[in-house]
A and B are shown apart, each in its own frame.
Chain A
Amino acid sequence: MTIDEVGLADPSAKRVGREGSAGSEGSSLRGLVAGIVGRPIAFGSAIFLIAIILACLAAPLIAPYDPLHQNLSEAMMLPSPAHILGTDDLGRDVFSRLLYGGQPAFLGVLVGSLACFLVGVPLGLVAGYGGRKLDSVISAVGDLLLSIPSIVVILAILAVFNHNIAAPMATLGILTSGGLLRVVRAVTLEARDQLYVRAAKVSGLGPFRILFRHILPAVAGPALVQLGIFAGVALTLQAGLGFLGLDVPPPNPSWGNMIGEAAHVISNFPWLLVPSGGIVALTTLAFGLLSDGVHDTLSNARKAISIGTRRSTHAVRGVPARSQGAGADSEASTVEAPVLDIADLRVSFGAGKVAVAGVSLACSAGEIVGLVGESGSGKSVTSLACLGLLPGNATVTAQRLAVNGVDVIGFSERQFRDIRGSEIGYISQEPMSSLDPSFTVGSILREAVRRHEPRLDRRQREQRVLQLLAEVQLPSPEVTVRKYSFELSGGMAQRVCIALALAGRPKLLIADEPTTALDVTVQADILDLLRQLRDRERLTIVLVTHDLAVVADICERVIVLQNGKVVEQASTDDLFSSPQHDYTKSLIAATPNILVA
């Protein structure tokens, strides 16, 4: 499935064969709600917050006592059936006071959030969408707001608006809006370059419509996260102001002044601090956890954790005669053990989405085998299963899954890590995003060499890095080692990725659409390179691709997959001259041919 769904959205990247990802987009409100319901911690926090807010709003109805009613004969009592949270030093019911005290607390948070939102979001949108000049002015204003010490300003405001909640909280909101502004600006800048925004422009939509319809929805999520964080900060700060006696005028309760009152009697009645301090702590925590949940839902943080393969218990299915192992066409495989040997591999995701339904294949040393199919055929999933790189919701079973004669069924993540790079190398279709842009080519390769050959000293390691770069025929390796990935062309980046894959001297290279994102001339060069590596190192290459023309160029044998099953398997010459299966025929017919038309 798509592991890279969110994050690096590169509009220029040519992606092929990405499988449908129904429901993975968290940008719609419904998706957001569903995402939060699916996360127990975030959902619990949301329920908690809603319950507290409703209870505080309904305080006049549900509070058992008048919050101001004093009864000195029942002062400083621990919780009892009559007073479920006890009483304070003046004999007032703590539970009732908490309910009433929550009203100014949430009013303050609401006012502050609104102020923050009303200043930060519009300014951020304009800064992100309005062009460079507006951006520099607004960003400067945002930075200025962030640099003002808010507590000093708030105390000054309180000197004017004594015992007022809205004024200091609105001030805090405006002063903090610099952070929200930055987030909104960044999201807007990114959304502005999306193709759907460009399409809207081309169809003649004005900037306001584009901002409202197409950019605001993208901004909404990250802005919510920021507001959640702000709410926590505002609540704590407000408690501080209450502690100092600066919020609601006494004897009216607020969570902050209740903490202050508790502090006065802390030596002879410590319990009093528990309800007031506890509610502030829990509510702040709930705001934080809820915004965490929103953030996770938006970034859809489904990590690609690898999982082991289980030995399948069911019997081996009959394999079509023409696809009986690798032996049919190549002499060598009858003598040598296959480099890759898969029998009855089955992979399904989550609840029942079957991606691979019983694939069996074998590749012998020095062979280039094409694994061909359209999106959803299971070709990428099959190759990722060999590497132990399927997402955590995948269920993998197989009769046999052997790499260089080593059975990897039941391998742990650690064991897989040991064979990745040293037994199997892997290159992907997006060479640019496979290389970390914050390191030079040299340091990326040195790291890989250090991992595979820890005993080399510095000079030897440097030598090996240069040798690897020379092996993939990069011109002037001494210059290339100092470059960053973004300074390379697509073809050069793919060569570096191949060098990286070869660092551990693997016998098997899995190349997943290695040339799909490249220009045709560069594609031909990379295919030449792969061919040479095979000849020189007797490397076995499994080429995962949708492009039968590439297969015709480089592969000796082809395995055609459809809907997770092998439908045909033959030598390349046989497959193209006499395709047996209808699906193969239709694939060949659909492949554009510059010689025929």
Chain B
Amino acid sequence: MARSRDAADAREDLLELDHITVRFRGRGRGASFTAVDDVSLALHPGEVVGLVGESGSGKSTIGNVMLGLVKPDEGTITYGGRDITNVGLRQRHSAGINIQAIFQDPYNSLNPALRIGEILTEPVRLRTGASRRDASELIRGLLERVDLPADAASRYPSSFSGGQRQRIAIARALSVQPRVLVCDEPTSALDVSTQSRIIGLLSELRDELGVALLFITHDLALTRSFANRVIVLERGRVVEEGTARQVCDAPTNPYTQLLIASVPVPDPQQQRERRRQRAALASQVAQARTP
């Protein structure tokens, strides 16, 4: 998997996963399940890498490895040239590692018992040791940046819609000025118009702050316009990677081809044609899978 960085070698790798393998021990008889199998990938500043796959493909596990929530069984993680594979989650802050996350479910990712102000202040004060006053100043700016009303800080999560909650989650992640942002299906629980606004906000932030984004999604159509590079996973293995255009327009792997043909398009005529293509591909992939 060394081909994960061909074009971008000139630039410095910000975060690099090198031959990562993660196994989950099954219950009982010690059967283990390989969730991630020898995956390598690199993130550069200001870049969006789309990590695409179906459920069970290991895409969220890779995100959790980056965040330090899951320890890989094999392979190394490098951050700014340093090996951080064995740096624990709590040591990451003092080691100057700043990777934040936005999760899928905006209804579950904000503590319902805390006001928005408290939710946002917590990481800021912990990371920067800012005074209460400075922190609330910063938060006012952040809320404005993600287009939320200024009085949002004094309200509870229950009074916000899904899209607004996701904006709050983005503000929380940004409050500590991360260099890498792991976005795990951040828009799959949102309406389409909300989704496109959140994607718009994320790409603005990428341009402004030069933050690198790992964009985990099952929606290939989203990656085509948003991601710079796309990595396709099937059962823990990388089956295809390349620029978003390459992968979406001219996939070479049969699984990727099926995945792309299965994405419906909002055009009935084209969709009829795509349905026929998909049927042909589906039988092809099914044949390849049965030994």
Contact = CB atoms under 8 A, between A and B. Distances in A.
Interface of A: 9, 11-18, 20-25, 27-28, 194-196, 198-206, 209, 213-214, 217-218, 374-375, 490, 519-524, 527, 546-553, 572-573, 576, 586-588, 590-595, 597
B121 to A, nearest CB: 11
Nearest to A201: B89
Interface of B: 54-55, 67-69, 89-90, 92-93, 99-101, 103-105, 107-114, 119, 122-123, 126-127, 156-162, 169, 172-173, 176, 185, 188-196, 218-222, 224-225, 248, 258-260, 262-271, 275, 278, 282
18 contacts: A14-B189, A25-B158, A195-B108, A202-B67, A203-B100, A203-B123, A204-B93, A213-B122, A520-B263, A521-B54, A521-B259, A524-B278, A527-B264, A553-B264, A553-B275, A576-B266, A592-B196, A592-B225
B264 A205 contact: no
Given A11-B103, A201-B89, 13 more contacts: A13-B105, A14-B185, A18-B189, A21-B158, A25-B112, A204-B123, A213-B122, A520-B219, A521-B258, A522-B54, A546-B192, A552-B267, A588-B266
B69 A552 contact: no
Contact of B263 (A25, A201, A549): A549
B220 A573 contact: no
B122 A203 contact: yes
A194 B265 contact: no
Nearest to B161: A20
A523 B191 contact: no
A218 B113 contact: yes
A20 to B, nearest CB: 5
Contacts of A199: 101, 103, 109, 169, 172-173
Contacts of A204: 89-90, 92-93, 123, 126-127
A594 B221 contact: yes
B266 A28 contact: no
A107 to B, nearest CB: 31
Contacts, number: 201
Contact of A16 (B173, B189, B258, B259): B189
B266 A15 contact: no
B185 A9 contact: no
Most buried by A among B99, B111, B162, B172: B111
Contact of A576 (B93, B189, B267, B282): B267
Contacts of A490: 55
B123 A196 contact: no
A14 B104 contact: yes
A9 B101 CA distance: 20
Contact of B112 (A27, A203, A524): A27
A391 to B, nearest CB: 18
Contact of A18 (B107, B220, B263): B107
A592 B264 CA distance: 9
A375 B55 contact: no
Given A202-B67, A202-B99, A520-B263, A552 B126 contact: no
Nearest to B191: A374
A205 to B, nearest CB: 6
B196 A576 contact: no
A213 B121 CA distance: 12
A490 B54 CA distance: 11
A547 B219 CA distance: 12
B177 to A, nearest CB: 12
A217 B111 contact: yes
Contacts of A586: 193
Contact of A202 (B68, B113, B193, B267): B68
A552 B271 contact: yes
Contacts of A374: 191-194
Nearest to B172: A199
A586 B55 CA distance: 30
B270 A595 contact: yes
A15 B127 contact: no
Contact of A552 (B90, B160, B258, B266): B266
B147 to A, nearest CB: 17
Nearest to A19: B161
